[in-house]
Every structure is written in C-alpha cells, then in structure tokens.
Structure 1
C-alpha cells in the first residue's frame, strides 16, 4: 500500500521469490517501509492503521496476513508457526533489499500479540539491522520467562519499543487473565494504565487489552 494507491493492495506474498510488486517506490527520497502483522489483512483496524501511516508520511506499507485462515486452529498451532513466519519475512526483506534497493535501516516492523514475536524473528534473521520494531502487547503465553533468543528482544532492531496493554505478573487462568507478556523486553516499554486492563475493553472476551 502506498499514498498513490490508497487502500488498494498491490503486493502479494506468494511462492519464491515471494512477492509480486505493482507499485513500489524504493528510490523515493523519503521512502520507508512499515510492515504490520495481523491474523487478517482485511481487518478494518489494520486497514485504518495502514491509512494512518500513509497520512503521516509517504511510505510503502505491507500488511502480512500471517495466520492464513488458520486462526481458528488454536493458539498452540498458530504459535508453532511464529519462528518460520519470522524467517520467511526476513527472506522477503532480503529479496526486497536485493531487487529494489530497500535497506533494512529504512524498515519499521509493527506486530501485535504473536505478530510482535514474528517481528522479532524477522529482525533476528536480519541480524538486528532493522530500523525499528514496535511490539503491540506481545503475546505472553509460551513466552513468559523465556530468553531473548525465543521472543522479541531489544537486540532485534536498532530501536524496539513495546506497548503493554494486557500483561499480568500473576496469572491464574492463562486463557482469560492476561494475553500479554509481563516483562520489559524493548529499548522502551510503555505500560498504559498499568498495562493490565484498559478502560472500556470488555472483560473475558480477549478485549481487556487494547
């Protein structure tokens, strides 16, 4: 997605060499790239985020529908794909760098929940050369108390910022209490409203965060 294209997607993630590019502007003076991980690229929230980024600056924006329709398969099935998807995205970025002269230093990756850890593994694949990773409430289940090689970490990009909105230090029911990780894992970690519950979010629906 670019400013010129508006809301119409022009990039498809397919078999190697991984992408089809219709309108992509690597030589533009202010070119940057934002990559947003979601379980559904048609999600209105993701679309709104993409459009907001384009309104702010003239960029290339990619939304990665990484769950590929498998989100109903269960958390553990999806979580098992995180490392491989991160590596695949690393390969995608390597391809773009080689073919379109996009430097990792121009790339900002944004990931929510498990997507935050995918962002981390993409950064690890590129040896921490990404400009920035933003983790939006990185998933906690299977990531609590793990080391930096197994999750998003501040070493995965030049700058890693994390916003925690649904992370708890005490978990009784791992499925309903808190979905987010309860540790500082970035260069800058933000905990709005204490980072555990957010106003106006519905309790018990997975919406206690934001």
Structure 2
C-alpha cells in the first residue's frame, strides 16, 4: 500500500485474544483473584460454529481493561494441553500494562502473597516488568512504561533499519544499544 492509498482494513483494536486452558473455572477464578479481571461472558457449544465439527468446549471471556478481552477455551475431548516444546517458555506470554512502577511493585507483592513465584522487576530500558505463570502454564507479564517521548520516537525511527539488519544477519542490531545501556546502569544501582 502506498501512503496515498488507505489500507482497506481499519482495525479497531483487539476484540479478544484466545488461549487454551486446562479448567475454565480454575482459570476464571485465578485471573479474578490474581489480576482482578472481571469474568464477563462465556459460550459453550458441542459443535464448532466455524467448522461444524463435534468438539465440545467452554469459551470464557475476562475483561483486561480498556476494552481488551482475554479469552480461554477448555476442550475436554482433546488431548491434554501442552506447549510448543521448540519455543522457550519465556517467549510466548501475555503482557498486561500497569500504570506506574509503584503499581508494578504492589502487583508483585500481591502475586507473591498468593504463593506464586515472580521474576523481576526486569528493566528493559523503556519499561519495567515482572513475570509469573498462570495455572495453565502461560507466562504472564505485567509491565509499566518508563521511557521518554524522545526514546519512544527514536525506537520508532530505528525500527525498520533494525528489522532490515536482523533479516540479513540474524544477529542483534545495535541501532538501539543505548536502550541496553540504560538497563545495565539501572541494574548496577541494585
């Protein structure tokens, strides 16, 4: 698409993101208790509407804030849930925004008080985050932005050169090396 031709699709955000769960009730209760999400609706069918195949399911929906919905499917007739063993556990994750570093630290204390192991806060230069796992084995991240407008503008400016260099070399481009230096300095303060 050229800059003069508008793209034919105008997205209005994420309607919902759906993942599999082992137990719908346990998942709903965990997300309510741990992250304060509201359970907003569910669908349950014996046949998949899009394909017509027999595969009973419970599809639950949780409000993640700002019109973002997180959904899960419990599929009792399918093989036990697994994960992509060829992908490290840290790669696939659900990341949610919190509004400040104070909120991030309060969230960490809350999650740990529930007996859940938390990693972090980890300093990423322009945001800080904590990590933990839900009862289904999905990695959850809570993050808060800490960068400046100038830093975000610079990251946007170097995004395409970084992608191009990565595509050619498959090694980490250094266009945003300053970002890692910020994180290293912060790590040294601890």
Q: Into which bin does the TM-score normalised by the smaller protein fall?
A: under 0.3
| Structure of larger gyration radius | 2
**TM value normalised by structure 2:** 0.25
Greater fraction of residues in strand: 2
